[in-house]
Amino acid sequence: MDYGLPSPKGFSRGMVLSLSLKLIQVLNQRKVGKYVGVVLPPGIAGFVANFALVLSGRIPVNLNFTQGADLNQHILAVTNIKTILTASKVVDKFPDFPWPEDLFWVDHFLASCSRQPLSVLATFARVLLRPQQIRMELLAPPEREREAAVILFTSGSSGKPKGVRLSHRNILYNCEQLSGLDLFQNEPKVLVNLPLFHSFGFTIGMIFSTVRGLPIVCVSSPLNHRLNLKAIAKEQIEILLGTPTFLRGYLQQARKGELNSIRYVVAGAEKSSAKFRTRWESTVKCEYLEGYGLTETSPAVSFNLPGAGKKDGSVGRLLRGIECKTLDVESGKETNSFVGGILCFRGGNVFEGYWNDEDRTNAVFDMDGWFKTGDLGRLDEDGFLWIEGRISRFSKIGGEMISHQMIEEAITHVLEICPGQDLPFVVAAREHEQKGEEIILVSTLSLDLNQIQKALRANGLPNLWIPRDCILVKTIPILPTGKVSWGGVRNMIQNYMNEEY
């Protein structure tokens, strides 16, 4: 069911496949190249465009249409993309996007198909009657499973985005891992609204949900909470996928009864606070299940499951077929996984390498195929994974590793911030001449720094962990994926320091 259309409309899996195969024929006639851009939200147009490209052996590059012209121009150049599949409303909404001359209008294609339904039905009949012929004519051969199926450029929350090359094997392996989870038995209805340029939206929202045969409802943006809530209530959605940033809006805007059908919230991409999990479960009477993944792992690595299959605060047990080890932050030597360290993973869902970047690829893989994530975590005695931050979100001051995330949690407690609210501050670090770095706050609120410092000391926080300054900003920069843009935060800090000196 697509709620991004003027009026919601349902499409069967057979119809999605038929439209995708029909689109392959059109793209072949136009001699569209190997790498093709896609600028579409989740919905029938986005699904058909991506399935057509993947099935025909082309490589879709779903572009983040909100991140600015310069970065997208760079991506178009390095991937040598000449054609973009999009829709007229998207082009009208983003006039500053670096649109190439060759645009293929998927909305026009779908409109023409609706005027010629017999042609689409004929394509579907050919699939049923002559599947081998269709495979030979239109689809990529199965022996190319290790070749790229999609290139997803990372959000760039802590640096310049990298092109992650996921193979057909990576994505299908992750889908098979997810399919075995009890969470998706009995075909629950799922709300799909995460962007297709994000691995969570691409693999879990689109590929897995479609291949697994789940009844899905698409809304074009996770930020349109009113439309999402309408879809949840009308379609009786049972599973809600999202990030804590996006999930806050549902609690803030939901009217009585609109969330009653939700059985499970599946959250990822950023850590959920204990208070936020509790508020969801007490308000909606559902289970709040955190998982963990990365673009480089297709994306899912671990999931909490209903009932005894979860531990609050953890991100669940590893999916079948994933190996994990941990490395010491200082020495790089392997540690006991109960002690923890830098998380490393190995398995069929781990990516093939970064697009056109051998140095970066070699930097994150060792000789035995272990992928070094940059996240810190540990496995407990029951096999549950606990994420304890990113290396980039730690400062080393006076020989001590200081967690920015733990300081944020302490300040949230001091300020008694409601778990349903957007966090009005973040903890970061800036250069210090003597100590190397010092902890600071970047806040949208005019905070009394002295009072916060006293309260943190009273709560037992060591002196090195106490923020030394507070920078007042209008907004905390957020990426379209719902994560904090740490690159944007660093720019704010640098601008503040330039003005100060």
| Burial (CB count within 10 angstroms: exposed 0-12, middle 13-18, buried 19+), residue 273 | middle
Cα gap 200→222, rounded to integer Å: 13
- Cβ–Cβ < 8 Å for 77, 355: no
Residue 160 has a pLDDT of 61
* Average pLDDT of the residues in 147-153: 93
pLDDT by residue (tens digit) across 170-218?
A: 999 999 999 988 888 888 999 999 999 989 999 999 999 999 999 999 9
Show the tokens assigned to 275.
Answer: 């208070």
Residue 34 identity:
K
Segment 220-226 long-range contacts (CB within 8 Å, at least 24 positions apart): 220/3, 220/4, 220/41, 220/42, 220/43, 220/193, 221/41, 221/193, 221/195, 222/193, 222/194, 222/195, 222/246, 222/482, 223/249, 225/249, 225/250, 225/252, 225/253, 226/253
Residue 158 has a pLDDT of 45
* In the block, residue with structure tokens 């829709």: 87
Residue 399 has a pLDDT of 60
Residue 369 has a pLDDT of 93
Cα gap 295→203, rounded to integer Å: 10
* Average pLDDT of the residues in 156-169: 76
Q: Which CATH class, in words, describes the domain spanning 398-500?
A: alpha beta
Q: Is the pLDDT of residue 157 over 50?
A: no
Q: Which of 19-28, 152-161, 397-406, 419-428 has the highest mean pLDDT?
A: 19-28
pTM: 0.81
* Average pLDDT of the residues in 345-356: 95
Q: List, in order, residues 6 or more apart from 55 with CB less than 8 Å away.
A: 20, 21, 24, 138, 139, 140
Q: List, in order, residues 6 or more apart from 102 with CB less than 8 Å away.
A: 82, 83, 84
Across all residues in the chain, what is the average pLDDT? 88
Cα gap 429→489, rounded to integer Å: 10
Give the three-class secondary structure for 303.
strand
Helix 13-30 × helix 117-129 angle, to 10°: 100
Residue 121 has a pLDDT of 77
* Average pLDDT of the residues in 485-496: 83
Residue 142 has a pLDDT of 66
Band of pLDDT at residue 483, cut at 50, 70 and 90: confident
Residue 481 has a pLDDT of 66
Least confident of 52-61, 109-118, 368-377, 478-487: 478-487
* Average pLDDT of the residues in 397-410: 78
Q: Is the pLDDT of residue 92 over 50?
A: yes
Cα gap 51→63, rounded to integer Å: 16
Band of pLDDT at residue 486, cut at 50, 70 and 90: confident
Nearest to 41 by CA among 227, 298, 214, 253: 227
Q: Is the pLDDT of residue 290 over 50?
A: yes
Residue 501 has a pLDDT of 43
Task: Work out the angle at residue 109's Cα, subtended by the Cα atoms of residues 227 and 57, and round it to the nearest 5 degrees.
Answer: 100
Q: Is the pLDDT of residue 5 over 80?
A: yes
Band of pLDDT at residue 332, cut at 50, 70 and 90: confident
- Cβ–Cβ < 8 Å for 156, 164: no
Cα gap 22→269, rounded to integer Å: 35
Start-end of CATH 3.40.50.980 domains in the chain? 1-140
Q: Is the pLDDT of residue 11 over 90?
A: yes
Residue 342 has a pLDDT of 93
* Average pLDDT of the residues in 29-46: 96
Q: Is the pLDDT of residue 336 over 50?
A: yes
User: Among residues of the chain, what percentage have pLDDT more than 90?
Assistant: 58
pLDDT by residue (tens digit) across 426-472?
A: 998 888 766 678 899 999 989 999 999 999 988 888 888 899 999 99
Residue 144 has a pLDDT of 76
Give the three-class secondary structure for 382.
coil
* Average pLDDT of the residues in 63-76: 85
- Cβ count near 70 (within 10 Å): 9
Cα gap 425→452, rounded to integer Å: 13
Residue 495 has a pLDDT of 84
What DSSP line would sit under 198-254, residue for residue?
Answer: SHIIIIIIIIIHHHHT--EEE-S-TT-HHHHHHHHHHHT--EEEE-HHHHHHHHHHP
* Average pLDDT of the residues in 217-234: 96
- Span 1-140: which CATH code? 3.40.50.980
What DSSP line would sit under 247-288, residue for residue?
Answer: HHHHHHHPPTTTTTT--EEEE-SSPPPHHHHHHHHHHH-SEE
Residue 500 has a pLDDT of 57
- Please tell me what DSSP assigns to residue 370: P
Residue 398 has a pLDDT of 62
The CA–CA distances, whole Å, from 77 to 80, 163, 180 equal 5, 13, 40
Please list the residues that pair with 365 across neighbouring strands: 371
Residue 248 has a pLDDT of 86
Start-end of CATH 3.30.300.30 domains in the chain? 398-500
Residue 276 has a pLDDT of 86
Given the DSSP bridges, would you call strands 148-153 and 163-167 parallel, antiparallel or unpaired?
antiparallel
Residue 123 has a pLDDT of 77
